[in-house]
Structure 1
């Protein structure tokens, strides 16, 4: 099995695991009510996010950051597209559907968080520029303590956003749970030959397990609410996701990027780190806040659409 097929199989496997683990979390009380491994506190969710970010630091290879060193303006253009278009699309969904309260905050979180590590794997499947994808994810993640609070305050309204999302607290939370673990993971890998040898195989599996547990926790904490989620909300999140893909590809084309870079930018923009958004919703708005529902739903959606997009591109052959 070649590398493209392996990664395509991996993407489909993650999607299947996402469905199975979430269904198990939803129906767990049928089996027993005395113990529920899926109900997690906000601190436990933060710990799982730290694990995923540490794993990101472990898997980043120095040679994969060549785009950042050789073409920094192209990288920052891609990050700028993501940090502006996705919050704008989230705001548009909220206004169009006339959402308010926790659900609107959840949608805005989906639009304002940085890209997900899954986009790097799917970029490889899509035969895109993995180096560019990794550079985009790394830079967006490291800048998140600044970009995420600013974007949320802007799209939620200066007064409302500052009151609900507490920019200073969010910046510190992102610094400690996102930036520090990524740097620590990269430092550990650089210092240890043993870690470096096994990181590529172990870290993605560990990060995937942590992400699945985060989403399952959201399902478990909102069992009564999930059956009441409006189809319009799911449709809005899907439109936001698809328009994110289209925006990324369009900007790449306008900027005359090679096809491989366009594919990477497409997946990076549309696939947000909704697991991080779930943690922020729990930390800032409460462990049982309905704001976590849109973030969990968006993770489902972007994994599904991202896998399909990558599979289509993989079938078209190597990108130029």
Structure 2
């Protein structure tokens, strides 16, 4: 998070706060689209009450830190991404109890089981390191480049290694303990979030980097928070293996987002490179015509 903060600029952060169009759209997508998606999927697959609650808890969570890393890989607006993650985490203090109350009627003790301390800790883990990175970038920009080049790639690699090792150690157990309906929902929810986040921001004609940023923020939930709520809200004999649902969600979330990053990088490398080459050739041809009008007549 310190290295991500080193990519941010105070002027751009201020611009996002003073003109919060992107933040407003992201909040609507995060706390409007995802909870409704979770509710509709739970109804469509006819989940039992406990399964439905597990899905709804994930859908009502704020954005996670994974969206910031994915935004960087997709060349999105890092300033908007960090501000969005911080704002969605702060809004979660009020929105999560409200959304869980609206969508989880009839499930006792769930509304009162939201771990506010965990949400505040997630907020602190976002804001404090980023503030350090922003300060370094503002006062010592020469060091911020070193931090970004060294720390961020190492962090991404270590994160991927941990997720791969976790999938090998508990992956088989997760997929044998959960039902096919739950696994299908875990696969569909991130994809729907990515699509609707990008679509809503496109309707309001935001820039391409902002569209990619909002798409990642919408599809990436704070699954650690979801797992904490499921453990705190229900006794183990009632929730059973459903506390593993956030783990399945994050596996599909990561896999689908990495596919998006792969397609984006291939598009940038081949299509955009060819487009720039064609544009350069046209400029050269036009310059030749201007310099030698007789060649155009011929």
Give TM-score, length-normalised by structure 1. 0.67
Distance 1:139 1:176 in 2: 12
Cα distance change of structure 1 residues 153 and 60 upon mapping to structure 2, 3 Å threshold: farther
Look up the SS of the partner of 1:164 in the other structure.
Answer: coil
Aligned to 1:18: none
Cα distance change of structure 1 residues 224 and 187 upon mapping to structure 2, 3 Å threshold: closer
Give, in angstroms, the shift of residue 101 of structure 1: 3.8
Look up the SS of the partner of 1:116 in the other structure.
Answer: coil
Aligned to 2:54: 106
**Structure 1: which 5+ runs fail to align?**
1-55
- Is contact 1:120–1:130 with CA below 8 Å preserved after alignment? yes
Look up the SS of the partner of 2:109 in the other structure.
Answer: helix
Give, in angstroms, the shift of residue 258 of structure 1: 1.1
Cα distance change of structure 1 residues 216 and 82 upon mapping to structure 2, 3 Å threshold: same
Aligned to 1:119: 67
Give, in angstroms, the shift of residue 128 of structure 1: 2.2
**Paired residues for 1:7-26 under 5 Å:** none
Aligned to 2:44: 96
Aligned to 1:74: 22
| 2:175 is equivalent to residue 230 of structure 1 | no
- Is contact 2:34–2:218 with CA below 8 Å preserved after alignment? yes
Distance 1:205 1:241 in 2: 23
Could you give the per-residue CA deviations for residues 133-189 of structure 1, whole angstroms, max 9, x where no partner exists?
A: 2221121122221122221221112x42xx23233x525234443234444445666
Distance 1:237 1:224 in 2: 16
**Structure 2: which 5+ runs fail to align?**
273-298
Q: What is the aligned counterpart of 1:85 among 33, 36, 43?
A: 33
Aligned to 1:164: 109
Aligned to 1:276: 225
- Bigger-Rg structure (1/2): 2
**Paired residues for 1:201-240 under 5 Å:** 205=155, 212=162, 216=166, 226-240=175-189
The alignment of Structure 1 onto Structure 2 pairs a total of residues equal to 255
Look up the SS of the partner of 1:227 in the other structure.
Answer: helix
Q: What is the aligned counterpart of 1:177 among 117, 121, 143?
A: 121
| 2:204 is equivalent to residue 255 of structure 1 | yes
Look up the SS of the partner of 2:221 in the other structure.
Answer: coil
Could you give the per-residue CA deviations for residues 209-231 of structure 1, whole angstroms, max 9, x where no partner exists?
A: 59958x949x75x9766414222
- Is contact 2:22–2:210 with CA below 8 Å preserved after alignment? no
Aligned to 2:216: 267
Give, in angstroms, the shift of residue 88 of structure 1: 0.4
Give, in angstroms, the shift of residue 261 of structure 1: 1.0
Aligned to 1:32: none
Could you give the per-residue CA deviations for residues 215-252 of structure 1, whole angstroms, max 9, x where no partner exists?
A: 949x75x9766414222322222222222111111111
| 2:84 is equivalent to residue 136 of structure 1 | yes
Aligned to 1:26: none
| 2:246 is equivalent to residue 300 of structure 1 | no
- Is contact 2:193–2:219 with CA below 8 Å preserved after alignment? yes
Aligned to 2:292: none
Aligned to 1:316: 267
Cα distance change of structure 1 residues 223 and 74 upon mapping to structure 2, 3 Å threshold: closer
**Paired residues for 1:24-43 under 5 Å:** none
Aligned to 2:234: 285
Segment of structure 1 superposing worse, 249-258 or 308-317: 308-317
- Is contact 2:5–2:129 with CA below 8 Å preserved after alignment? no
| 2:192 is equivalent to residue 243 of structure 1 | yes
- Is contact 1:245–1:266 with CA below 8 Å preserved after alignment? yes
Cα distance change of structure 1 residues 224 and 73 upon mapping to structure 2, 3 Å threshold: closer
Distance 2:207 2:16 in 1: 16
